[in-house]
Amino acid sequence: MALWLAFAPLIFWTPVATAYLNDTMVSALVIFFAIIVPMMMRMPGDEVPSGWNYNPSSWLQRAPVIVLAFLGFSIARYLAAFQLGHIQWAWDPFFGVGTVKILTSNVSRAFPISDGGLGTVAYMIEFLMGFMGDTRRWRTMPWMVTLFGILIVPLGVVSITLIILQPIVIGYWCTLCLVTGLGMLVMIPFTLNEVAAMILFLLLSRRAGRSLWRTFWLGGNALEEDDLTPHRPLPAGLKEMFWGVTVPWNLLVSAVLGVWLMAAPAVFKSMGWAAHSNHLLGALVVTVSIIAFAEVVRPLRFINIGLAIGIILAPWLAGGGTLPSSLNALFVGLLIIVLSIPPGKIKNTYGSWNSLIL
C-alpha cells in the first residue's frame, strides 16, 4: 500500500502538486511506522564484527548515507515536479537549459513514468532504510543489509552511468543531476563496509555449520574467527562517521585527473568520439577512484589501469582528436596507471577480509 501511494502519482501523471506531496509523505510515514520502527528494537550480543576494530552498523556510520539520501530525495523530487508539470522551469546554475533539455529528452520520455519521480522513490527508500534495524544489523538482518547494498551499490552505479552518458547521448549537462550522481557516488564507499561485515558473518556462520538460508533471513549471534581476534572497538566520536573510508593521495589525484579529462575536450577542441571517450572514461576514473576510498574494496583501483589504457588508445582509434588532446590523453593515462599501483593507507582491521585488501 505504501509503495502504491508512492508510485500512483507517477503512474497517473497527477497534475496536482499537493496530491503528489501528500501521497509521498503518507507513503514515507506508513513505511517508517509500519516497518522501520518495529525493527529498531535493540538486540543482544556483540556490536563489532570479529576481527574488526569498529562497528559498521553504528548510527554515526549510517549518518552520511542518510544525509546524502535525503539530499538526493529533495533534488529528485524537484526534478519530478518539473516533469509532472507542477513547476514551469527547472533551475540550472551552470548549464542554462541543460536540465530542461535532459528532463524533456527522448531518453527521459522513454520511461513510462517520470524518471525524476522514480529517483524520488528510490532515494526515499534508501533514506528510510538507513534507520532500519539496530546497531547489530550486520548480523541480525543480513537480508536487509543485502537489499540496502543493492539499492545503493549496483543501482547507484547504473544511475551514475546514465548521468555520465548524458552529454554523449543527449548533448547537455545537468547540474542537479551531477549533484545527485556525486551524492550517490559518495554513498557507495560508506555502504560497502557494512556489506562486507554481513558477507563475512554469513561465511563464518556457514563454516560453523549453520543454515545459510536461515541465517540470511533471521540473523544470528556473532562468531569469532579464532581465539586470538579480540574485539577492540575504537573510541567513538564524530570521526566514527568516516571509519572504513580513507582518501589516499594517489586515488584523490586519479579522481582529479578524471575530472580534467572530462574538461579536456573543451580545452583542446577535440570532437566526436575522441571527445566522448574523454567524457566517458574520465567520469569512470572518478567513479572507480571514489568507490575505492572504501578500504574493504581498495583493490578496485586496479580497474583504473584498464581505463587508463583505453584513455591512451582512444584518441588514436577514434576520429576527432587533435595532437594536443592525444598527447594529453597519453600523459594522463600513464599517470593514472602509476597512481593505481599503491594501495594507500589502510587504517582499520577487517578480520579475514584483510587478506583481500591488496
Determine contact, residues 116/10, Cβ cutoff 8 Å. no
For residue 350, the SS3 value is strand
- The reported pTM is 0.92
Rounded to 5 degrees, what are φ and ψ at 304? -60, -25
Distance CA 53, CA 88 (A): 52
Sign of CA dihedral 238, 242, 244, 246: negative
Rg of the chain on CA atoms, in Å: 22
Label residue 195 exposed, middle or buried (CB < 10 Å: 0-12, 13-18, 19+). Answer: buried
For residue 52, the SS3 value is strand
Name 263's Cβ contacts closer than 8 Å, sequence gap at least 6: none
Bridge partners of 294, per DSSP, are: 245
Share in percent of the chain as helix, strand, coil (round to 5): 70, 0, 30
pLDDT per residue of the chain (358 residues) written in tens, 0 to 9? 889 999 999 999 999 999 999 999 999 999 999 889 888 777 777 889 989 999 999 999 999 999 999 999 999 999 999 999 999 999 999 999 999 999 999 988 888 999 999 999 999 999 999 999 989 999 999 999 999 999 999 888 888 888 888 888 898 989 999 999 999 999 999 999 999 999 999 999 999 999 999 999 999 887 765 443 445 455 567 788 999 999 999 999 999 999 999 999 889 888 888 888 999 999 999 999 999 999 999 999 999 999 999 999 988 887 767 888 889 999 999 999 999 999 999 999 999 999 999 8
Which pLDDT value is given to residue 193?
Answer: 96
- Copy the grid coordinates of residue 251: 586515488
Alpha helices in 32-88 (DSSP H): 59-83
Question: Which amino acid belongs to residue 123?
Answer: Y
Please report, for residues 32, 261, 339, the alpha-carbon distance to residue 257 in angstroms, rounded to integers and kept in the order given. Answer: 42, 6, 10
Alpha helices in 130-174 (DSSP H): 137-140, 142-152, 154-169
